[in-house]
Structure 1
Amino acid sequence: MIRKFALAAALTVVAGAASAQDCTAITVEDAFDLDESQINVLYDCLQEKMATGYAKEGDEIGTNYRSWAPTASRPAVAGPHGNRLLNTYANDVAAEQYLKFEEEGVEMPVGSILAKESITVSIKKKAARPGPLFIMTKVGLDEAPDTAGWLYAGLQPNGKVMKVKQSFCHDCHAGWEDQDFLGYPVEEVRLGQ
């Protein structure tokens, strides 16, 4: 009897692992070809793994960002960040201004923090997996004069801090200077407008 129970438990674990693996499978040739339902399946499958992974090393942002204001109804492919699926959260300082999604004259308050979950879609492997948590913090010009007052950071899916070259991130964000260097979620998924 114990042996049958152990075998049944082992089969359940294997089936659960296979099921988790299957929910990350993709069939498209380009991340931009994923439709809303496919994205929702991937996110449902990976969201807990992402949150747990980002928090694993005890980073304050990685542990708490999910309690912040969501800025989109679901992840979406916007193009930047390596064509990953992106889903942004804004802390209390940032939320009111960020959720306006204004295109001109934006000035985020110092203390604003944005945390952007990412899902890496591998066309070659035909699967998705958690990507980095990208973080932007408005610290002001005195602390970050070369990046318009922003500090860029990131956490790997295992919670370890990424090495981030500030100029690499800021050079891309410079394209949104009128928006205080902020990219926004694609319009179809934006919340709070």
Structure 2
Amino acid sequence: MRRKAVLGLLALGLGVLAQGGFPYPEGFRFWTHVKSMEIKRGHPLYEAFGGLHHIYANPQALAGYLSGKKAFPQGSVIVFDLLEAKEEGNALLEGQRKLIGVMVKDPARYPETGGWGYYAFGPDGKPLAIDAKACHACHQGAANTDFVFSAFRP
């Protein structure tokens, strides 16, 4: 049964499944752009997440950002596209992709991590092994916004 479900997802163009069964979020760059930021040397997360971040939200996640309730509905998917940051000609430019981070809201599936599943994909779109509990431990700092650090910038 699981093999059939995986084949069905692949046929839909949803991409390679991450550990735990979440597909690469094909077409996420056509979702709503939430914000961009850069983590620079000296930031505590620089070693793991230094570079340019672009945050994208699917329609459910956008509803969560806009609701003002600081809660995201089931089915919300938030993607952060992490790229190397490079300076050239007095401009900050996007370098190579480092990874894609994904948060998926499904309280029934992820009760131990505040209702969120955490996934990562390498620059080639292949799943990376991560510790979702460690991700969630870091996101505890955003507990008052449903464990989401970013805020929508209209």
Shift of 1:99: 4.5
Equivalent of 1:67 in 30, 41, 58: 30
Q: Does 1:76 align with 2:37?
A: yes
Equivalent of 2:61 in 57, 81, 94: 94
**RMSD (Å) for aligned C-alpha atoms:** 2.7
CA offset digits 1:98-136 (Å, max 9, x no partner):
256x5xx5111010000110113489xxx9421101000
Work out which of the two has the higher radius of gyration on C-alpha atoms and give 1 or 2. Answer: 1
Q: Which residue of 1 aligns with 2:76?
A: 112
Q: Which residue of 1 aligns with 2:15?
A: 58
TM-score (norm 2): 0.69
TM-score (norm 1): 0.56
Question: After TM superposition, what 4+ stretches of structure 1 lie above 6 angstroms from structure 2?
Answer: none
More contact order relative to length (CA 8 Å, sep ≥ 6):
1
State the SS of the aligned residue for 1:132. Answer: strand
Once residues 61 and 98 of structure 1 are traced to their aligned partners in structure 2, the CA distance between those partners, rounded to angstroms, is 22
Equivalent residues of 1:90, 1:114 under 8 A apart: yes
Letter aligned with residue 153 of structure 2: L
Q: Which residue of 1 aligns with 2:153?
A: 191
More strand by share: 2
Is there any run of 5+ residues in structure 1 with no aligned partner, and where? Answer: 1-55
Equivalent of 1:173 in 139, 143, 146: 139
State the SS of the aligned residue for 2:112. Answer: helix
Q: Which residue of 1 aligns with 2:126?
A: 160
Q: Name the % identity.
A: 24
Letter aligned with residue 76 of structure 2: S
Is there any run of 5+ residues in structure 2 with no aligned partner, and where? Answer: 1-12, 17-22, 88-93
How many residues are paired up? 124
More helix by share: 1
